[in-house]
Amino acid sequence: MTLDGATLDGARVLVTGASRGYGAAVARALAVRGAHVVLTATDTGHLARTARQCADEGAQCDLVTLDLASPESVDAAAAEVARVVPRLEGVVLNAGVLGPMGPLANADVDAIGHAIDVDFTGQVRLLQRIAPLIADHAGVVLVTSGAAGRPGYGAYALGKAGLEALGLMLREEWAARAIRVVAINPGPVRTDMRAEAHPEEDPATVPPPAERVAPVLAVLAGEDPGPRVQASEWGLA
């Protein structure tokens, strides 16, 4: 699909985990297409860098600090989003942490809980809090992973599996409002998290995140490709 850049002109889109990696790539692509981006992350230093890059493209940009492991932070962030924009035409839930890898039986339970708070529970809380802001006919992207439910990936696999289940539920629950809820798996991309999970891998052998943002843009621009998309296969059919 070839997107007309004007299709996202003025659209207000919230992107979590926008300080680096895939979230930053999505934010920059939205800025190029004229969207008003609301960017969140825990690391405000890196987030400011993404914001400068978006501003260089002429985009309107708001920064919101968000720690998905903290209910208080989620509530405060949702209130701040409501303060800076009256409505959201798009949401991209990209934030996540890897957490402990390996067999679940060997993992620290508290570490598992923290990762699931970030990768799943905090995402649910955030969506609940911002639901009144999400416009009818909006696009909601849940960034998932091929590791969802996969042995050896610990809490990350559990959190992403939960996120995919959440997407299926919300597609039905928000269908009357014509809100497109799509789980998108970027596949292997050159990020810090990928390097942490696969230290033996040469980063040059995987594509940069910017090469895998097309389906996110398409969903936000109005397309509904179904409940789950593999970004690596986008445009090949």
Active site residues per annotation: 156
Q: Considering only CA atoms, which of 195, 214, 89 is closest in space to residue 140? A: 89
* Intra-chain end-to-end CA distance of the chain, in Å: 10
Please state, in angstroms and rounded to a whole number, the distance separating the CA atoms of residues 162 and 121: 9
Q: Which residues contact 139 (CB under 8 A, 6 or more apart)?
A: 89, 90, 91, 179, 180, 182, 219, 220, 221, 222
Question: What tokens appear for 167 in the block?
Answer: 């997407």
Measured over all CA atoms, what is the biggest interatomic distance in the chain, rounded to whole angstroms? 50
